[in-house]
Amino acid sequence: MGIIELKNIVKTFPSEKVGEGVHAVRDVSLTIEEGDIFGIIGYSGAGKSTLVRCINLLEKPTSGEVIVEGKNITAYSEVELRAVRRRMGMIFQHFNLLNSANVFENIAAPLKNQGRISGKEIRERVEEMLRLTGLEDKARAYPSQLSGGQKQRVAIARALVGRPRILLCDEATSALDPNTTTQIIELLRSLQEKLKLTVVMITHQMEVVKSICNKVAVMEEGKVIEEGSLVEVFSEPKSSITKEFREKTLYRKEAIALAEKNKRNLYELTFIGEKANDPAIMDLVRNYPVEVSILFGNIEILSGVPFGTLTIDMKGEGKDILDAVAYLKSREIKVEELGGHKIEERKEERREEDKIWNG
Amino acid sequence: MEWLNSMFPNVEKLWPYIVKSLNETLIMVSISGVFAAALGVPLGIVLAVTKKGELLSFPPLYSILSKIVNTVRSIPFVILIASIPWLVRAIVGTTIGMKGAIVPLIIACIPFMAKQTELALQSIDKGVIEAYRAMGFSEIAIIFKVMLKEGFSAIIQAVTIMLVGLISYSAVAGSVGGGGLGDFAIRYGYGQNKTDVMFLTIVIMLVMVFFVQWVGDSLSKLVSHR
């Protein structure tokens, strides 16, 4: 059983303009296991921010159940929910710090609010968080004196000072530049390990999901349309956002344009896991009378699994090319044809050739 | 001194009255300022949090309160003074002098203070409030530890603007028997056509306004940390 379970969550906002209201989340069920770094990705307006707010019930689902650490919290009273929320940290795109309080006070706020924690303990725990987030020298600074990355560090320290088991991140890196994004991601990853956190990350940045998450759900129009481990989702992209991501990182558009221009047939090969280390292309060239030229190649590590793609151009007899493709497939390499000459046409040619041979 | 005396021929003779009037104005402004802030700020908080979609959203209460506030705000001060002698008498027992002026001053300033406080609290980033809800803060804790803390600088500014307005209102109150610098300026400066007295009164009022504004701006800057 997961640490967070969402069962058939529906959230509809009443609207005066639209008769039936705005359907932000439509029947979403997800299970997030302890220790996961679970990415929820989608374009803006896909309902992911509403969905993450259903986890700590900042938004009450119209229907459905939220089960956290085995307890159904959907029907909890506001007072009971406060206790649940103290066990969940949350960070935001715009940091949401108190501008009128310094870094130390900002981080101490959740502890002070709990009462019954001594001043000495508060100081120790805030200092521990300052150390973990690399802000030791900024304790007395005010947010206006900090950079975006530093502000997000303060927000992370504030979210974790109460020692929650779950951290919710709502577009936590979307307001940061790429360098700072990488630093914050690294920080989140190390904190997740040290503090044994379960992290839920809402983002529209595929790079973020790719670099930190082990599981991902893709949302579109309030629904989860793809879900699984990072490798599963990227090897079989179904939604426009994952496909688009693949096209971007694999230069696929450029490859197709090239194929069409030169009336060539290009193949995109996908190697996953150990396959990425196989000398498949070398074996191919050795055993089949085809010429192979490599146009683009890329290898990514998705949650520790090598994920390679290669765009190649094959020259040779139609029959030989078909055999070569079959051979690659037999080695569990995904082969996809990009533009140019289609395999169907090749089959026609092959039949022609067979006739001649047999004739 | 000779030179000053020739520039302001009437000032020396009227000096005791000037001091007395200044005193009255200061007393009127400070007493009404304290009461208007003490009553207006909480009213503003109630307005800010009961508005639809806000922390303690309660539209019926918001609607009633904001209508009262807007109504009182839209009555010109001179007419307000003239229209509530019964209320003033019920509260302080008289309608004349400083005592009689302070009640209408407070009544005129509460709605202004409430509206300004509402605006100050409304301009606080909703994301910050949401972050504190996500941390398990109660609504009351959010009002005091988040909204008032973040809005403090803006509320100080609102009090400053109110005090400047009060100085000017107090002069109007003076003209209908409330005493103070306004009364003095009308009686001697205007009534007896003593230009030097009028001029001096204006200077004193300007100094008061600038001083209040300066103190307010400095305090507000001190707590804002922006």
| ipTM associated with this complex | 0.85
Q: What share of chain A is helix, strand, coil (3-state, %, to 5)?
A: 45, 25, 30
User: What's the rounded Cα separation, in Å, for the pair A257 and A260?
Assistant: 5
Paired tokens of A27: 């029947």
Global confidence as pTM: 0.84
Positive or negative: CA dihedral A98, A102, A104, A108: negative
* CATH number reported for the structural domain that contains residue A299 in this entry: 3.30.70.260
What's the confidence (pLDDT) of residue A231? 82
- The answer to whether residues A50 and A180 belong to one domain is yes
Give the closest residue to A221 by CA, choosing from A245, A240, A247: A240
User: What's the rounded Cα separation, in Å, for the pair A329 and A323?
Assistant: 10
- The answer to whether residues A92 and A230 belong to one domain is yes
In a domain, A245, yes or no: no
Cβ within 8 Å, pair A88-B146? no
How many structural domains compose chain A?
2
Per-position pLDDT tens, chain B of length 226:
677 777 778 878 888 889 999 999 999 999 999 999 999 999 999 999 999 989 999 999 999 999 999 999 999 998 988 888 899 899 988 888 888 889 999 999 999 999 999 999 999 999 999 999 999 999 999 999 999 999 999 999 999 999 999 999 988 887 677 788 888 888 888 888 888 888 999 999 999 999 999 999 999 999 988 7
Quick one: closest CA in A to B149, which residue?
Answer: A100
Cβ neighbours for A326, distance < 8 A, ≥ 6 positions apart: none
Paired tokens of B95: 């309608």
Contact residues, chain B, for A16 at CB < 8 Å: none
- The answer to whether residues A298 and A322 belong to one domain is yes
Cβ within 8 Å, pair A83-B136? yes
Give the closest residue to B205 by CA, choosing from B225, B189, B223, B226: B189
CB–CB of B21/B15 below 8 Å? Answer: no
- The answer to whether residues A208 and A348 belong to one domain is no
CA distance readout (Å), B120 to A78, B130, B153: 27, 17, 9
What's the confidence (pLDDT) of residue A359? 42
Whether residue B226 lies within 8 A of chain A, CB to CB, comes out as yes
What's the confidence (pLDDT) of residue A281? 83
In a domain, A105, yes or no: yes
- The answer to whether residues A43 and A137 belong to one domain is yes
Whether residue A110 lies within 8 A of chain B, CB to CB, comes out as yes
- The answer to whether residues A315 and A169 belong to one domain is no
Reported as half-sphere exposure (CB side, CA atoms, 13 A), residue A258 has a value of 14
CA distance readout (Å), A196 to A216, A243, B215: 19, 32, 51
Whether residue B146 lies within 8 A of chain A, CB to CB, comes out as yes
Return the domain boundaries, chain B.
Answer: 2-224
Helix (H/G/I), strand (E/B), else coil: B181: helix
What's the confidence (pLDDT) of residue A353? 54
In a domain, A143, yes or no: yes
In a domain, A84, yes or no: yes
Paired tokens of B155: 């509320």
> In chain A, what percentage of residues exceed pLDDT 90?
54
- The answer to whether residues A79 and A8 belong to one domain is yes
Contact residues, chain A, for B150 at CB < 8 Å: 98-100
- The answer to whether residues A128 and A206 belong to one domain is yes
Cβ within 8 Å, pair A97-B150? no
Cβ neighbours for A75, distance < 8 A, ≥ 6 positions apart: none
- The answer to whether residues A178 and A86 belong to one domain is yes
Contact residues, chain B, for A138 at CB < 8 Å: none
The count of CB pairs under 8 A between chains A and B is 68
Per-position pLDDT tens, chain A of length 359:
789 999 999 999 987 776 778 889 999 999 999 999 999 999 888 899 999 999 999 999 999 999 999 999 999 999 999 999 999 999 999 999 999 999 999 999 999 998 889 999 999 999 999 999 999 999 999 999 999 999 999 999 999 999 999 999 999 999 999 999 999 999 999 999 999 999 999 999 888 988 899 999 999 999 999 999 888 887 778 887 777 776 666 666 777 777 777 777 788 888 888 777 778 888 888 888 888 888 878 887 777 788 888 888 888 888 888 888 888 888 888 888 876 555 555 555 555 555 555 54
- The answer to whether residues A196 and A296 belong to one domain is no
In a domain, A231, yes or no: yes
Residue A205 Cα, gap to closest chain B Cα (Å): 21
Q: Dump pLDDT digits (tens) for A220-246.
A: 999 999 999 888 887 778 887 777 776
* CATH number reported for the structural domain that contains residue A31 in this entry: 3.40.50.300
In a domain, A243, yes or no: no
What's the confidence (pLDDT) of residue B1? 65
In a domain, A60, yes or no: yes
Whether residue A58 lies within 8 A of chain B, CB to CB, comes out as yes
Quick one: closest CA in B to A55, which residue?
Answer: B134
Residue B174 Cα, gap to closest chain A Cα (Å): 40
In a domain, A337, yes or no: yes
- The answer to whether residues A137 and A215 belong to one domain is yes
- The answer to whether residues A185 and A46 belong to one domain is yes
Whether residue B140 lies within 8 A of chain A, CB to CB, comes out as no
Of B134, B150, B223, Cβ closest to residue A98: B150
Fold of B2-224: MetI-like fold (1.10.3720)
Quick one: closest CA in A to B132, which residue?
Answer: A110
Contact residues, chain A, for B138 at CB < 8 Å: 82
User: What's the rounded Cα separation, in Å, for the pair B66 and B115?
Assistant: 8
Contact residues, chain B, for A144 at CB < 8 Å: 225-226
Quick one: closest CA in B to A110, which residue?
Answer: B135
Quick one: closest CA in A to B126, which residue?
Answer: A96
For residue A136, the enclosing domain spans: 4-236
